[in-house]
Amino acid sequence: MRCVVFGATGYLGGRLVPKLVEAGHEVRCVARDPGKLADVPWRDRVEVVAGDVGDPASVRAAVDGQEVVYYLVHSLHKRDFVDLDRRAARTVADAAARAGRIVYLGGIAPADQDLSPHLSSRREVGEILLRSGAPTLVLNAAVVIGSGSASFEMLRYLTERLPAMVTPRWVHNRVQPIAVRDVLHYLTHAATVPRQVSGTFDIGGPDVLTYLEMMRRYAVVAGLPRRVVVPVPLLTPWLSAQWVNLVTPVPRGIAVPLIESLVHEVVAADDAIAEHIADPAGGRTHYERAIELALARVRDADVPTRWSDAGAAAPSDPLPTDPDWSGGSVYVDLRERRTRADPARLWAVIESIGGEHGWYSFPLAWSVRGWVDRLVGGAGLRRGRRDPRRLHTGEALDWWRVERLDRPTLLRLRAEMRLPGRAWLELSATPAEGGGATYRQRAVFEPRGLAGHLYWKAIAPFHDIVFGGMARNITGTAERTP
């Protein structure tokens, strides 16, 4: 099938496109700025065209010759999103009237209730597309669980950063979350649903939970202490949104409409979609498993995709096109220095780090941290290293573990000390233009809960002494080595 995707740079669009390609479809991606798709792994397997849902001419050109139109666009971050989305939906509906199929992802909305502006707009867009004259599938979902989903990021940040919180009564409302992998399953298979099928269908995961249960189960999966939640009747959705804006990096323009929508119970009305699209192989993903996938940033003993250069390996992974505030908190201390030493001498110093050679900065601080680690049951610095010059992948190095070794360019260490989070230290040596070498040092910390954030902020004032000193002394030692 020839498929055109409006919203290919968005959260779901960026994950749907490679799924459509894998399914054998020809895919055209529409983006206001095609340059945003320049670095995605699947760029050379699709057609990318410039287009704006507010420009009828560009929409007609994008839809021309296509059999399936995926409409995954919204303007939630803009103040007048209701009007913008209404006009954009009409433009796409007019252009797609002769297409074989329109597929739209909306939001589950309870019937016969005064809806929030967000859910009301989602319902209106679906109705506009259904009136287009083309067979249309409107798939409605509640909270989508996956790194990068605005609803999930709000849940993640609230739960991780607040061990105790005062919340409005809506935390007892029921929600039917769905894993992003399952959403993509339904969207992908919607392309081949027979033309005579047209209408609105709810999609959801196998679990129905209150928002309070979702936060507490997230805490269990993330290894956090039980969250203390005290619901009170005085917090309006607007006040709740201000609190979310203060505590999390989710923009206020997105947090407010999402919070307002939580006053409704969002549970699938039925499972009629199963008559046209079978469940994913192995069944729909349970909530805890969806959380595990969303938090599984380390794959194949490699760095988290949140800060690696690789493309996402799974729908639950972050993508380069995701907003900066998604993907959870990751703190990075990055140092880079040019040295006169050639790369081989610099690498020799890097690979000999630790053990009897020490860590090249503030020995007392490293010793004290090692003693503290041993007192709380950690490894401390007592493990040393097996060979003073050469390392091997997987071996212990003081309180680190060699996670990756690309001799003679890259050494990545994973911390095994007792920490309120996960940490890595990466050291690399590359030839510099004009001679010498470039030394690059990156310390990465993924905090776990409020304690993790406080830990990083507490040690941040010493980073220049510890990490800065390490960078200066490693390059200096390489220059002095004969």
Q: What is the pLDDT of residues 4-21, one digit of tens each?
A: 999 998 889 989 999 999
| Model pLDDT, residue 302 | 34
Phi/psi at 474 (5° precision): -65, -45
pLDDT interval class at 304 (50, 70, 90) = very low
Q: Is 238 left (phi over 0), alpha (psi -120 to 50) or beta?
A: alpha
Superfamily of domain 331-480 in CATH is START domain (3.30.530.20)
Looking at the predicted structure, is the pLDDT value of residue 412 above 90?
yes
| Model pLDDT, residue 313 | 40
Phi/psi at 61 (5° precision): -65, -40
Beta 437-447 vs 421-431: how paired, if at all? antiparallel
Looking at the predicted structure, is the pLDDT value of residue 309 above 50?
no
The two three-digit tokens of residue 44, written as one number: 């050379």
Looking at the predicted structure, is the pLDDT value of residue 324 above 70?
no
Looking at the predicted structure, is the pLDDT value of residue 385 above 80?
no
- Tens digit of each residue's pLDDT (9 = 90 or more) over 125-150: 999 999 998 999 999 999 999 888 88
pLDDT interval class at 417 (50, 70, 90) = confident
Domain spans, the chain: 2-295, 331-480
Superfamily of domain 2-295 in CATH is NAD(P)-binding Rossmann-like Domain (3.40.50.720)
How far apart CA 67 and CA 4 sit, in angstroms, is: 8
| Model pLDDT, residue 306 | 33
For residues 447-476, average pLDDT: 88
Is the preceding peptide bond at 408 cis, omega within 30 degrees of 0?
yes
2-16, 183-197, 198-212, 367-381: range with lowest mean pLDDT: 367-381
| Model pLDDT, residue 298 | 35
pTM beyond 0.85: the answer is no
Looking at the predicted structure, is the pLDDT value of residue 260 above 80?
no
207-216, 226-235, 245-254: range with lowest mean pLDDT: 245-254
pLDDT interval class at 325 (50, 70, 90) = low
pLDDT interval class at 274 (50, 70, 90) = very high
